[in-house]
Structure 1
Amino acid sequence: MSGRYRVAIVAVILAVTAQPASAAPEPALRWRDCGADTQCAVLTVPVDWADPAGPVTGVDVVRVPSKDPARGTGTVVANLGAGNSTAAIVGPRSAPIQSWLDQLTERSDVVVFDPRGLGREDRQTVCPRPPAPILGLVRRQDDAAWTTHARENAAYDAGCRQAAGPAFAGLDSWQIAHDLDALRAALGEKKLRYFGNSYGTTYGQAYAELFGARLDRMYLDGVADHTRPRLIDWLADHARAQELQLLRFRDWCASKPSCALHGEDAAKAWDDLLSASAVTGDLFAGALVGMNPPRWPDLARAIAKARAGDDSDFRTVLDYPPTGPTGSVQAATLCHDFMPVLPDHASFLEIERRLKAVAPRFGWIEGRYEVGRCLGIPGEPAYPPHPLSASGTPPVLVTIGELDNNTGHLGAAHVARQFPRARSVRHGDGHAAYLLGNACLRALGNAYLLDGVLPPDGTFCPAELAP
C-alpha cells in the first residue's frame, strides 16, 4: 500500500466523521448553454483532495434539465464509462442515449461528468505517444514481445505524466469519488443519486466506501470489479467468463440460420481451427474482438473462411481501429488506479498455466489481454484493488449481463455480494445493456433511480440486444 494511500485513508476518516469531504471551499457551477437542450459547466477541484489548498484541476459537467421541473425528483448524476462521457451528450447523440435521456428527464435532471483528464478539448490530456497495442501480447507470445510491449507502455506513461503535469498525481478513483461528492454539493443535493456504467462503476464503488452515508441511490451496470487484491483471482474470473462466452457464441450460432457456422458446433469449429493452425496468436486476438456479441456474425464468418484457407479476417475485420500517433490518458488512469502489481514474464507464465487449467479452450488468453494493458507502467496502483467496505450504503442496484465479456459477469456478481443490501438483476445481454436500450433493464433501472423502487429478488431480464 502506497504512503499516499495510507495518508488518504486517514484523511477520508476525518472527512466522513467530522466535516464535508475536505476543507476546500464549496465549489460553484456556472452553467452556460452548450447547444440543444444541454448546459455545461466546469467543476474546479483540488488535484489532491488530501491537500485541498494545493493545485487545482477542472472536471467537465453537462446537465440536461428535466422537461417538467414541477414534477422533478432531483438529479441523477451519471458517468457512462471509459473516455469522454459528456461528448455522448453534447455531441451527436446515438438513438439509445437519446431515449435514455428522454426517459429520465421526464422527472429528473441528468448531470453527466467526465473524469479529470478526460474532458473536452481544453481539459483533455493528450499523451504524446499511444500505449502499446492492446492485443500485442496476444498476437506475439514470446520473451521479446513481452520486453517490447513493456517498453512501449513505459514510454506512453512517461509522456502522459509530462503532458498532464501536476494533475497526473490525481488520476485515480479515490480522487474522482471526492470530485463526485463535490459535484453533489455544488448541485445542492443532500444525497447523491448515481448511475455508473462500465468504468463509471469503479467511481461508484469508491464513493460507496468513502461517502456511503451521503448516498441516496446507486445503480451500477457493466460492473468493473475493483475488489480483487490478487491478480490471479481477478484474471481467473475474466478467463472463466470468456470460456463461457465461447459456449454462448456456440448456442447463438445454433439458433440463427444466418450464422456462417449454423448446423454445426461453432465451439468445436474454433477448437479444430486452433488445432490445424501453426500460428494461433492472430486467431486469439481476432476472437477476443469477435466474442463481443455484436461481432458474433463476423467471428462465425472468420472461422468459416479460415477453415477454407483464408484467415485474413482475424487480422483485418476482427481488429480494433488504430489508435494514431497520440494516446488518451485513460489507459494510464486505469493502470495507476486499478491494476494489481504485475509479475515478470516467468511469473506470468505460471499464472497463465493456472488460467489454462480453468479455461483451456479460449478464456485463458484473457490473461495476456488484461496484463497487456499495463505491462511496463511503473509504480504501485494509486488506489489498489481491495475488498469493498461499504456498510453504510443504502440498497444498491447491480445488473449483471450473462453475455458481458468486457466487465465479466463473475466479477460483477463478486462486487454485488459485497454490498450489504444489494439487489442483483441478471440479464441475457452483454455490456452496457441498460444504456443500449434493453427495455426490461430500462424500466427497472428508471423505477429505481426516479422512485427508489427496487425490483423483486430473482428478477431476470431476457436478452433483447443480441445479434
Structure 2
Amino acid sequence: MDTRHLIRISATALATAGLLISGCSPGGSSPSASASAPQSPVPAALKTYYAQKLTWRECGASGFQCATMKAPLDYRKPERADIKLAVSRKKATGPGRRLGSLLVNPGGPGGSAIAYLQAYAAIGYPAPVRARYDVVAVDPRGVARSEPVECLTGKEMDAYTQVDQTPDDQGETNKLVTSYKKFAVGCEKRSAAILPHVSTVEAARDMDILRAVLGDRKLNYIGASYGTFLGATYAELFPARAGRLVLDGAMDPSLSARDMSRDQTAGFDTAFRSFAADCVKRKDCPLGTGTPAEAGKRLKSFFGKLDAEPVRTGQSRPLGESLATTGVIAAMYDESAWAELRTALTRATGGDGAALLALADSYYERADDGTYQNLMYANAAVNCLDLPPAFTAPAEVRTSLPAFEKASPVFGGGLAWASLNCGYWPAKATGTPHRIEAKGAAPIVVVGTTRDPATPYKWARSLAGQLASGTLLTYDGDGHTAYGRGSDCIDTAINTYLLEGTAPQTGKKCS
C-alpha cells in the first residue's frame, strides 16, 4: 500500500475517461537558486527554447494534434542537455472569439496530462470552454510520454505492492525498509540522469516555455490535485504571466512532508466515515450496522485477518492487507465508487479478493498483462525531490504512529509507514516547505471540497489565504476535486471565470 503521495482527480472524470489518473504529492520545491530567473526579458541562455517552433501532427482520436517540445534538462546549465516533452492539443471548436490556450494537468505527480486531455478534458469539459480555448496538455518531465522515470519490472512492482506496510516486528520492518531501498536503487539504476531534474519548479518552468511557444501572452490553466501545486508554483515564478488559473483540489505548499502526510491521513478518514455512514444504512453493507466508528473497527479487523491470511483472487497474487487497503482508498475518491466498494468488500470477506484487487490495480495503473505505467515511479521521483523526507528511519515512524492513528484509526498505521520511502531516495531534495503568495498575479480561483479525501479542505483555505490574489470557491460534498463533478454552481462559477475573467466572490459555497 504505497499510497502516501497519491492524489487523484475526480473518479467521475476517470469513469468517463476510462482510465485512472493518479498521483500526488505533499509539498514542493522552493523557487530559489536555479529557479529564480527574471520574468522579462527571457534569459539569453533560454531564448532558443522560447523561440522554438512546434511541428504538429495528427495523433490519437480524431481532432487531436501532438508535438514534441524541447526544454533544458538542467535550468542551471541549459547548454548541457535537452529533455523532450510530449505535447498534445485539441483546437477550439468555436463559435466565439478564441481566448487562447487552456493548459490542463490532472494531478500526480505521475498522471499523464495527455491521456487526461485525450480521454476526458477535450471532450468532457463544458462545450462553451472548449469552443473558445485550444485545450492543451504536456506530460511533465519524467511522466508517461516525456522521458519517463523507470524503476522496477512488472514482477518487481507486484512484489513491492504486496509488502506489509503495518510491520508487527523487527523482521517485518526490515522487509519494508528493504523494499523501499530496492525501489530507490531501481530508479537510480534505470533513470539516474533525470532523477535530479523532475522537480515541480522545473515542470513549471517548462510550462512557461510552452506558453510562449503556443503564442500566448499569459498562461490559462486548470490544475487538479497535485496540478494545483504546479499551477501555484507557476504563478509564484511568473506572476505577470499568470492568466486565468483554476486550482481544484488544492494543496498547501507551506506544509512539511510529515504534516502533509498526516493531514492526508485525516482526509481519508473523513472520506471513509462519510462512506461508512452511508453504508451502514444499507442492507448490503459488508461492514454491518451501527456507527461509522464501529464500521471502521470492523474494516480494520478485516485488514488484520488479511495480514495473517490473504484471500484468493484467481491470480498468483493473493489479496493481503496492503493491496486491500489500497483498494479501499482507491474508492474514496468519488462517491460513485461506493457501490463497487461495497460489492468488493462483500466478496473479499467471503474469501474472494478479485474485485478489491482490481481496485488496487487500477490505482497503481497495472495492466492485465502485469505491466505498470510509470505513475508510481514519477510520483516518488517528484515527491522526494520536492520536499525533505517525512521520515528517515523506522524509529521516527514509530514515534509518530500515535498521531497518525489518531488522524485515522483505520488507515493511520499504514500511511505513516508509507511515508518512509523518501528516506532512502538517491537524489537529494531540492525544495522546502514555503508559502506561495504570487504577488502581482491576476485573480486565481482555488477550489476546495469539504470532504475531499486526498487534499483536505483546509489546504484549499490555506492556499487561497496565501495567494495575494487567491479567491476560495467551496464545494460542500464528497470526493476529490469539484469541477465537472455534477455541481452546476461550481461549473458555472468556473466557466464564468474562464470565459469572462470574473472570479467568484471569495467565500462562495456550492453543493
1:86 aligns with 2:87: no
| 8 A Cα contact 2:105 2:137, kept in partner | yes
Q: Which residue of 1 aligns with 2:270?
A: 244
Cα displacement (A) at 1:330: 1.4
Q: Structure 1: 5+ residue runs without aligned partners?
A: 463-467
| 8 A Cα contact 1:156 1:327, kept in partner | no
Cα displacement (A) at 1:108: 1.4
Given the two structures, how large is their TM-score scaled by the length of structure 1?
Answer: 0.83
Question: In structure 2, which of residues 180, 184, 190 is the aligned counterpart of residue 163 of structure 1?
Answer: 190
1:249-306 CA distance string (max 9 Å, x none): 2332356666556863343133245468864752655543443434423444566677
> Structure 2 matches for 1:259-408, cutoff 5 A?
259=285, 264-272=290-298, 274=300, 279=305, 281=307, 282=321, 284=325, 286-292=327-333, 293-301=335-343, 312=353, 316=357, 319-321=360-362, 323=366, 324=370, 328=374, 329-341=377-389, 342-356=391-405, 358-359=406-407, 361-365=409-413, 367-368=415-416, 370-371=418-419, 374-408=422-456
Q: Would the alpha carbon gap of residues 411 and 142 (structure 1) be closer, same or farther in structure 2, given more than 3 Å must change?
A: farther
Match of 1:23, SS state, is helix
Match of 1:433, SS state, is coil
1:418 aligns with 2:466: yes
Cα displacement (A) at 1:219: 0.5
| 8 A Cα contact 2:114 2:138, kept in partner | yes
1:15 aligns with 2:38: yes
1:320-376 CA distance string (max 9 Å, x none): 3574466623133233333432231011111112223x4253352363364155353
Q: Which residue of 2 aligns with 1:151?
A: 178
Separation in structure 2 between the aligned mates of residue 429 and residue 97 of structure 1, nearest angstrom: 25
Amino acid in the other structure paired with 2:200: S
Q: Would the alpha carbon gap of residues 236 and 160 (structure 1) be closer, same or farther in structure 2, given more than 3 Å must change?
A: closer
Separation in structure 2 between the aligned mates of residue 118 and residue 441 of structure 1, nearest angstrom: 30
Given the two structures, how large is their TM-score scaled by the length of structure 2?
Answer: 0.77
1:253 aligns with 2:275: no
Separation in structure 2 between the aligned mates of residue 204 and residue 119 of structure 1, nearest angstrom: 19
Amino acid in the other structure paired with 1:15: P
| 8 A Cα contact 1:192 1:217, kept in partner | yes
Amino acid in the other structure paired with 1:38: F
Q: Which residue of 1 aligns with 2:12?
A: none
Q: Which residue of 2 aligns with 1:77?
A: 103
Q: Which has the higher contact order (CA 8 A, sep 6+)?
A: 2
Q: Would the alpha carbon gap of residues 145 and 375 (structure 1) be closer, same or farther in structure 2, given more than 3 Å must change?
A: farther
1:9-48 CA distance string (max 9 Å, x none): 24444423x6326621123222222251112111111001
Q: Percent identical across equivalent pairs?
A: 26
Q: Which residue of 1 aligns with 2:3?
A: none
Separation in structure 1 between the aligned mates of residue 356 and residue 298 of structure 2, nearest angstrom: 19
Question: In structure 2, which of residues 483, 491, 499 is the aligned counterpart of residue 434 of structure 1?
Answer: 483
| 8 A Cα contact 2:89 2:136, kept in partner | yes
Q: Would the alpha carbon gap of residues 461 and 258 (structure 1) be closer, same or farther in structure 2, given more than 3 Å must change?
A: farther
Q: Which residue of 2 aligns with 1:117?
A: 142
Cα displacement (A) at 1:175: 0.7
Separation in structure 1 between the aligned mates of residue 461 and residue 297 of structure 2, nearest angstrom: 29
Which range moved further: 199-208 or 156-165?
156-165
Cα displacement (A) at 1:202: 2.3
| 8 A Cα contact 2:287 2:298, kept in partner | no
Match of 1:189, SS state, is coil
Cα displacement (A) at 1:77: 1.3
Question: In structure 2, which of residues 56, 68, 77 is the aligned counterpart of residue 31 of structure 1?
Answer: 56
Which range moved further: 323-332 or 34-43?
323-332
Q: Would the alpha carbon gap of residues 40 and 327 (structure 1) be closer, same or farther in structure 2, given more than 3 Å must change?
A: closer
Match of 2:38, SS state, is helix
> Structure 2 matches for 1:47-62, cutoff 5 A?
47-62=73-88
Cα displacement (A) at 1:178: 0.6
Which range moved further: 63-72 or 167-176?
63-72
Cα displacement (A) at 1:217: 1.7
Separation in structure 2 between the aligned mates of residue 278 and residue 429 of structure 1, nearest angstrom: 27
Match of 2:63, SS state, is coil
Separation in structure 2 between the aligned mates of residue 395 and residue 53 of structure 1, nearest angstrom: 36
Separation in structure 2 between the aligned mates of residue 315 and residue 257 of structure 1, nearest angstrom: 20
Question: What RMSD in Å do the two structures reach over aligned CA positions?
Answer: 3.3
> Structure 2 matches for 1:216-235, cutoff 5 A?
216-229=243-256, 231-235=257-261
| 8 A Cα contact 1:238 1:410, kept in partner | no
1:352-402 CA distance string (max 9 Å, x none): 12223x425335236336415535323432333333242232221111122
Q: Structure 2: 5+ residue runs without aligned partners?
A: 1-28, 308-320
